[in-house]
Amino acid sequence: MKTLLRIDASARVDTSYSRSLADYVEKAWKQQNSEHQVIYRDLAKTLIPHLQQNTIEGFYTPQEQMTSAMKDVLAISDELISELLEADEILISSPLYNLNVPSGLKAYLDQVVRIGHTFETGEGGVHQGLLKNKTAYLVLAKGGSYRGTLYEAFDFQEPYLKAILQYIGIKPQAVFSLEGTSDQDTLQRNLPNLYQQIDTIFQTQPQIL
Ligand SMILES: Cc1cc2nc3c(=O)[nH]c(=O)nc-3n(C[C@H](O)[C@H](O)[C@H](O)COP(=O)(O)O)c2cc1C
């Protein structure tokens, strides 16, 4: 049985393009994997705490020496990492907020990028991601258009997500990026391409939404 961990980051719960596209990807993924389970992590519904002094000290303290305050504050990191470990594939849906991922998704990543658990630094400072055999699908929504424009370098969302996933050993498998959601004409032009890309990757028949 295959396990998909789905992480949604848009603060908009009902009218979000990234969530609606992630629904489409999830359906296609389920069609491809008849035996499956999905773990949902909705970052708008359960806020992930920012790192605190105890969290960082706990990250660098051996388990047997941790104080109870450190253990308490690390419980959420433990829980999120065990969800990641359980997953074969990860689906992240994210809007572009102020040129990057929403702070909720950054807080999530800060909790799971953890020395000795998801990455390690070996001799000579060589970095190694510790998660193995896991791939990720990224579903991104942006109000404006960046790719191929003068502003492409201003969009840190996709390069950051790809880099941080690889940092912990997860291979980005496909990126479905919807640009121009703030402009109806651009949006209507871009949407069919996005659905087609998803259908191609999952080799499914177009779905009726
Ligand atoms: C707080 C906030 C910041 C945003 N910042 C940007 C931005 O920097 N660039 C951009 O192109 N769109 C920006 N947008 C527009 C969103 O990227 C766009 O509405 C997108 O569709 C949101 O994803 P969603 O539909 O899944 O909620 C911003 C929207 C909000 C609410």
164 inside domain: yes
How far out from the chain centre does Cα 79 lie? Answer: 16
What is the pLDDT of the chain when averaged over all its residues? 96
Give, for ligand 1, the residue of 23, 93, 142, 182 to mutate: max count of ligand atoms closer than 8 Å to Cβ: 142
Give, for ligand 1, the residue of 96, 100, 106 to mutate: max count of ligand atoms closer than 8 Å to Cβ: 96
Domain count, the chain: 1
Three-class DSSP category at 138: strand
209 inside domain: no
208 inside domain: no
**Mean pLDDT of the region 178-184:** 98
- 52: containing domain: 2-202
Give the pLDDT of residue 122.
86
∠ CA 90-93-26 to the nearest 5 degrees? 60
Q: Is the pLDDT of residue 204 over 80?
A: no
Q: Is the pLDDT of residue 49 over 80?
A: yes
Q: pLDDT (tens digit, 9 = 90+) per residue, 148-168?
A: 999 999 999 999 999 999 999
Question: Relative to the CA of 145, which ligand 1 atom is closest?
Answer: 11
Report how far residue 94's alpha carbon sits from residue 102's, in angstroms, rounded to the nearest whole number: 7
128 inside domain: yes
| Residue 209 banded pLDDT, cuts 50, 70, 90 | low
Q: Is the pLDDT of residue 65 over 90?
A: yes
**Mean pLDDT of the region 110-122:** 96
Q: Is the pLDDT of residue 87 over 90?
A: yes
Ligand 1 centroid – CA 95 distance (Å) = 6
207 inside domain: no
Ligand 1 centroid – CA 17 distance (Å) = 10
> What CATH number does residue 121 fall under?
3.40.50.360
**CB of residue 44 inside a 6 A radius of ligand 1:** no
